[in-house]
Structure 1
Amino acid sequence: MKIYNLIVHKIWNPYLDTFNGLSKEVWWLALITLVNRAGTMVIPFLSIYLTEELHFSFKDVGSILSAFGLGSVVGSWLGGKLTDKIGYYKIMVFSLLTSGFMFIGLQYLNTLTSICIGIFLLMVVADMFRPAMFVALSAYSKPENKTRSVTLIRLAINLGFSAGPAIGGLIITTISYGGLFWIDGISCILASLLLVRVLHPKKTTVQDQITVRNPISVYKDFPFLIFFVAMVLFGVIFLQYFSTMPIYYRREHALSEFEIGLLMGFNGFFIFLFEMPLIAWLDKTKFKKATLILFGALLTASSFIILIMTNWVGILIVGMLLMTIGEMIAFPFSNAFALQRAKKGNQGEYMAMYSIAFSFSHIFGHNAGLRLVDGVGFNNTWLVMTGLGALCVLLLIFLNNYMKKTSDL
């Protein structure tokens, strides 16, 4: 009985308290994101699918993933512009519905040129959703709840993503890769239908019209530009876990697709359990957002350097744990930092730039990582990624000091 009371009063109730005060609309956005992300099981296996099923070289896969990133840049920019002009609701519905059908069609492409074009167009449409969703999240959140609202969305993403890779690995083992594309597409379509059902456009008209008088251009916001470069670097190292790392698990440690799925699923499940309490606690500390982002980047960079220290298979779990805690801290506070800076200008433009930072990472990160692996091997690639992580940390230190000196907080 004492153990029960300890769990309920000391752990469970405080955990539930971290969700208090969030608006109904934020909860609906989280559910829509959960439905959408439940089908993202294609992504962790994309590099394996391209190399082992379609027999592309590492360089070809790098080119395909660069098209992925380029489409993401265009989509994020376009989504931000259109969000400021016509509102986030229409953009979110169009993006989810159209990308669902495009995901289903992607499995029927098998040449390098057709896959590059298909991936590019898919990402243009799919990533229009991100800036629109961030603006919607900002509109539906009270100022004091923005970081926790972002964390709830990430919680939904990772709840879907924790089960997705494990199920995806099982589907590949028992059926084929084709089923993954169908599930991913259908989940996007279901998410669009849920959005139309629960968030009627009449209820978002006023919020869609939120603007800033005399907005500052994001391109003239020096602290934000430093932050942007740091996020590109962080994205480059983080995205290795979705391109080079699954191949590393497969070729260097002989893990099956199902085992890779379980390892990737551990990432999402750990975030689901611990991110909200962690962020709620950190949000109450005196640490600045830039400082917390810095710490998250440091942990993520360290997840690579430890891989070259031993061949013990258990180090993969340690590395995944370090990366997971790093992203748990870096992503919510970087998103909150961007939302905070967006008060100075057009929100769609700022959130598009935040999304574009990771789109640039997609362009260069996957390609560079795969070419490095092909040229110098996995261990040297991990050294390079650690170096990029260190550069990211230095930029964030500079950003922190600059904002303190200029009182631009």
Structure 2
Amino acid sequence: MKKLLKNYISTFDGLSKEVWWLSLITLINRAGTMVIPFLSLYLTEDLGFTLSNVGTIMTAFGLGSVLGSWLGGKLTDKIGYYKIMVFSLFVSGFMFIALQFLKDIFSLSLGIFILMIVADMFRPAMFVALSAYSKPENKTRSVTLIRLAINLGFSAGPAVGGLIIVGLGYGGLFWVDGITCIAATLLLIKVLNPKKTRIQDNIIVDNPYSAYKDKPFIIFLFALFLFGFIFLQYFSTMPLYYREIHVLSELQIGLLLGANGFFIFLLEMPLIKYLESTRFTKTTLILFGAYLTAISFLILNFTSWTGILIFGMFLMTVGEMIAFPFANAFALQQAKKGNQGEYMALYSIAFSFAHIFGHKSGMELVEGYGYDNTWYIMTSLGVLCMLLLFILKQYMKAKPNVA
């Protein structure tokens, strides 16, 4: 047992202290994002909106995310990642608190749209900071550490969120989310002053290459969009499926969603370190992650046994553990050709487009065709994602150091 623990700890060797601080800031921030997994339940059960209304509001969520990611990337290249991170965290904290007072579909859609503009300016800035503070050989593991912080936060968040709903109602979630964003800002200002920290990787490019002309990167973005489209169903339509078909309580749903983060916390870093030592390319590993995620939807139609939900969540989690770190690493590698803010903004935007279309489409599919047919459609989109990744793999075959 002691040897196992020692081996686990050794997977974190070599990461800079700035990356550790970024991870802690991310953990504090993400531990408070209890609103997101419960947003569809809040809108339907507390405010009485229809599934179509929920889809509209979630579309506003995605549109704000796209604009915020694009704006964050532009401003990061112009004024630097630090100022953008501080502004985004601090202002979004107050906006999360204010969101609970919006009750009609128009004000909620507008409020969530503006909130996501501010909140998602953080993502490209954080990726550029992560790249700057990581040695080139540690980038995939640095990304994985950030994801561990995110998922540890998500692991605790939904479980605690379920308890808060039982004790304080949905309003308590908005307060906690806002306060944790503000707390993360204060920690960021204290520990990551860019004038006192050592940059580990020079990311300045004299003749930047436009991300919009990078063909492999564009193929990758389309595949990422499809992966995000099906992955996000676990945080919008899936909680409703748990409630309506398998009759789970908010606490049970929170624990099941929290298991996703717990699995990642335990297994992802050792898994990534092992996979980095294999001969598999990044594109191959992303493809395999997409395969597991697609299968996690398909198996739900095989049986009405509630235990299948745990197995499906586990398959999706392993798929996510493999796909996302290597997708991040691929994007950071390609970004060395040009302005990193632009590249990482497009990376974030691909996922934001998944928010725009994924949530509403999922809700509409469930309302029109039922859960079983929706899961078949998600599986098919997963297969299309795999096909694009296979094309990308073939395209990059002549450049193994990049793929």
Question: Does TM, scored on the shorter chain, surpass 0.5?
Answer: yes
- 1:252 corresponding residue in structure 2: 245
CA distance in 2, matches of 1:406, 1:98: 43
1:132 to 109, 125, 134: 125
TM-score (norm 1): 0.97
Shift of 1:204: 5.4
User: Is the aligned partner of 1:194 residue 2:187?
Assistant: yes
Shift of 1:209: 8.5
Q: Provide the secondary structure at the position in 2 that maps to 1:310.
A: coil
- 2:329 corresponding residue in structure 1: 336
8 Å CA contact 1:237–1:365 kept in 2: the answer is yes
- 1:66 corresponding residue in structure 2: 59
User: Is the aligned partner of 1:227 residue 2:214?
Assistant: no
Report runs of 4+ in structure 1 exceeding 3 Å deviation.
Answer: 204-210, 405-409
8 Å CA contact 1:88–1:208 kept in 2: the answer is no
1:36 to 4, 26, 29: 29
Superposed counterparts of 1:1-400, under 5 Å = 7-9=1-3, 11-203=4-196, 210-400=203-393
CA distance in 2, matches of 1:44, 1:86: 33
Which runs of 5 or more structure 1 residues have no equivalent in the other structure?
1-6
Shift of 1:132: 0.2
Q: Provide the secondary structure at the position in 1 that maps to 2:108.
A: helix
Count of matched residue positions in the alignment of Structure 1 and Structure 2 = 402
The Cα offsets for residues 217-239 of structure 1, whole Å up to 9 and x where unpaired, read as 00000000000000000000000
Which runs of 5 or more structure 2 residues have no equivalent in the other structure?
none
- Supply the AA of the counterpart residue of 1:64: I
The Cα offsets for residues 68-124 of structure 1, whole Å up to 9 and x where unpaired, read as 000000000000000000000000000000000000000000011000000000000
TM-score (norm 2): 0.98
Q: Provide the secondary structure at the position in 2 that maps to 1:317.
A: helix
8 Å CA contact 1:299–1:323 kept in 2: the answer is yes
- Supply the AA of the counterpart residue of 1:192: T
- Supply the AA of the counterpart residue of 1:150: V
Compute the RMSD of aligned alpha carbons: 1.3
8 Å CA contact 1:87–1:209 kept in 2: the answer is no
CA distance in 2, matches of 1:313, 1:260: 12
Q: Provide the secondary structure at the position in 2 that maps to 1:355.
A: helix
CA distance in 2, matches of 1:300, 1:241: 10
8 Å CA contact 2:136–2:201 kept in 1: the answer is no
Percent identity, aligned pairs only, is 72
Q: Provide the secondary structure at the position in 2 that maps to 1:404.
A: coil
CA distance in 1, matches of 2:304, 2:142: 40
Shift of 1:203: 2.8
- 1:4 corresponding residue in structure 2: none
